[in-house]
Amino acid sequence: MHYFHYKEEDLYCEEVPIATIADRVGTPFYLYSHRTLVRHFKAFDSGFEEIRHLVCYSVKANSNVALLRIFVNLGAGLDVVSGGELFRALKSGVDPKKVVFSGVGKTEQEIEYALNSGILMFNVESSQELVRIDEMAKRLDMRAPVAIRINPDIDPKTHPYVATGLMENKFGIDFKLAMKEYTFAKGLPHIEIIGVDCHIGSQLIELQPFVEALRRVKELIHDLGQRGIEIQYLDLGGGLGITYKDEIPPHPTEYAKAIVEEASDLDYTLIFEPGRVIVGNAGILVTRVLYTKETGEKNFVIIDAAMNDLIRPSYYGSFQGILPVTKGEEEKIIADVVGPICESGDFMARNRRMPKFKPGDLVAVMSAGAYGFSMSSNYNSRPRICEVLARGDRFHLIRERESYDDLVRGEKIPDFLG
Ligand SMILES: *Cc1c(COP(=O)(O)O)cnc(C)c1O
């Protein structure tokens, strides 16, 4: 459920006509609906009200500090995967005691930054990382709170690039070796074991893999208890999918119900790290048609946004809805929507039925709130685009469009080149 809707011929975000925003900020731009973001966060969070829990929004899905602030104001914690994300998290005003730090490759500098910031816990992914964190904590004369990320070897039945809980993936520690790893961690003087973590993948559209993972991890926590390792936090990661085209993912309340059923008797706090399900359908990419072109074989709609702005179609072959910002064109054609970048993989949609767009028309690329701006780059020296937040009948620029000067910031020509 989101608040992008037509009033007669015109597409609106909440009460703002999208064409009005385009006139003001230019194209392309990302547009988010405040009401949708709040609704999605609350829908997720409220499903767990019966049990002790903390929702740590996954910063990498969309890391704009204004969005982080929205969730933080609603009581969220944050899940970060780099020093840069931790910096953003702290900028957003989050309580560091609600920050979890995930990822397979934390550097010394990142570990030190997180220890000094007083985060809730590290989700640790290898023995070597445990040793590194122990050393860093010793240097700072602290104990580092950790959970170990378990790879439960469960098929999330999703795209291979976003499956993370299978033996073949780089993430986590083999389920069968978990006890050994925990025993090892227990012997490290500057490590304080407080949790177990698992995240099995992204864009899951079935509940069963989540429930299976939870069962496996519960068993582990039970066994840990028998060996005197008490767990206070179980982090179940993120991964709940959304509708891009015709997928029917479980509603967050169904997801919550399935988890709560399995977890109501537990006396530890559950942590969740949702990303896509909160922001995915709360944002769109608005772009303008530059040209249209017919080859003998095909129709092309050439837009001013490209794969550097939204890489999901190129990278995952993902589907993004394509809608006219102003309806009216009755005639429909089958076309590819492509960007200006010098790569054949630069497309937003292929062989899609759509209105016969004309140069100057505005096009909305739907479901672009997650892994949109946050995965964008400057490829082809294209300045990164601006981000806008609509709320009611108003809108706010929450990130400026980059300039050409931004593109070369930090670059230097050595003296010998004259
Ligand atoms: C990416 C990621 C998430 C968020 O995944 P979504 O599919 O966007 O919900 C949560 N936790 C970890 C560890 C991740 O890597």
- In tens, the pLDDT along 255-268 reads 999 999 999 888 89
Report in angstroms the alpha-carbon separations of 221 from 226, 279, 308.
9, 31, 43
Assess if residue 51 is contained within a domain.
Answer: no
Q: What is the mean pLDDT of the chain?
A: 96
Q: Is the peptide bond before 160 cis (omega within 30 degrees of 0)?
A: no
- Between the two ends of the chain, the Cα-to-Cα distance in Å is 58
Identify whether residues 284 and 221 lie together within a single domain: no
Is residue 296 scored above 90 in pLDDT? no
Whether 325 and 349 map to the same domain: the answer is: yes
The DSSP output letter for 383 is P
Say if residue 184 is in the same domain as residue 266.
Answer: yes
Domain assignment present for residue 188? The answer is yes
| Domain end residue (candidates: 217, 250, 272) | 272
Domain boundary among 249, 272, 295: 272
Query: Cα angle at 209 between 208 and 210, to 5 degrees?
Result: 90
pLDDT at residue 24 greater than cutoff 90:
yes
- 193 domain residue, yes or no: yes
Under the banding of pLDDT at 50, 70 and 90, the label for residue 316 is: very high
* CB contact burial 65-77 (16+ within 10 A = b; e otherwise): bbbbbbbbeeebb
Closest ligand 1 atom to Cα of 241: 7
Same domain, 263 and 324: no
| pLDDT value for 155 | 82
Structure tokens at 341: 């970048």
Asked if residue 343 has pLDDT above 80, the reply is: yes
Q: Is the residue at 218 inside a domain?
A: yes
Verify that 224 and 107 share a domain, yes or no.
yes
Span 208-219, mean pLDDT? 94
Whether residue 352 is found in the same domain as residue 207: no
Could you tell me the sign of the dihedral formed by the alpha carbons of 127, 129, 133, 136, in that order? Answer: positive
Residue 386 counted as domain residue:
yes
Residue where one domain finishes, among candidates 210, 244, 272: 272
* Cross-strand bridge partners of residue 335: 352
Tell me what pLDDT residue 154 has: 86
Those residues with Cβ within 8 angstroms of residue 180's Cβ, 6 or more apart along the chain or in another chain: none
> What band does 185 get if pLDDT is binned at 50, 70 and 90?
very high
Instruction: Please pick, among 13, 56, 198, 342, the residue that the annotation labels catalytic.
Output: 342
342 is catalytic: yes
The reported pLDDT for the residue numbered 157 is: 78
Q: Parallel, antiparallel, or unpaired: how do β-strands 29-33 and 53-58 relate? A: unpaired
pLDDT for residue 327 is more than 90: yes
Task: Give yes or no for residue 172 CB within 6 A of ligand 1.
Answer: no
In a domain, 244, yes or no: yes
Per-residue pLDDT at 297: 87
What confidence category does residue 330 fall into, taking pLDDT thresholds of 50, 70 and 90? confident
pLDDT tier for residue 168 given thresholds of 50, 70 and 90: confident
If asked whether residues 284 and 200 sit together in one domain, one would say: no
**Domain check: are 133 and 265 in the same one?**
yes
Query: Is residue 140 located within the same domain as residue 284?
Result: no
- Give the rounded percent of residues in the chain with a pLDDT score beyond 90: 91
**CATH number assigned to the domain comprising residue 214:** 3.20.20.10
58 lines ligand 1 (CB under 6 A): yes
* CA-to-CA dists, residue 312 to 185, 319, 335, 373, 391, angstroms: 38, 8, 19, 11, 26
CA distances to 76, 94, 172, 275, 293 from 73, in Å: 7, 8, 31, 17, 47
Instruction: Name which of 97, 45, 37 is nearest 62 in CA terms.
Output: 37
**Considering the domain boundaries, does residue 93 fall inside one?**
no
Q: How far away, in angstroms, is 275 Cα from ligand 1 center? A: 6
Probe target for ligand 1 pocket from 40, 55, 79, with the most ligand atoms within 8 Å of CB: 79
What's the gap in Å between 141 CA and the centre of ligand 1? Answer: 31
Same domain membership, residue 168 and residue 225: yes
Residues 241 and 114 in one domain: yes
pLDDT at residue number 170 = 78
- Do 187 and 257 share a domain, yes or no? yes
47 inside domain: no
Alpha-carbon distance of 9 to 323, in angstroms, equals 12
Mean per-residue pLDDT, 71-76: 98
Check if the beta carbon of residue 346 is closer than 8 Å to that of residue 338.
yes
* 46 three-class SS: helix
Is the pLDDT confidence value at 19 over 80? yes
| Residue range of the domain that includes 201 | 103-272
Number of structural domains the chain divides into: 2
Say which CATH number the domain at 387 has: 2.40.37.10
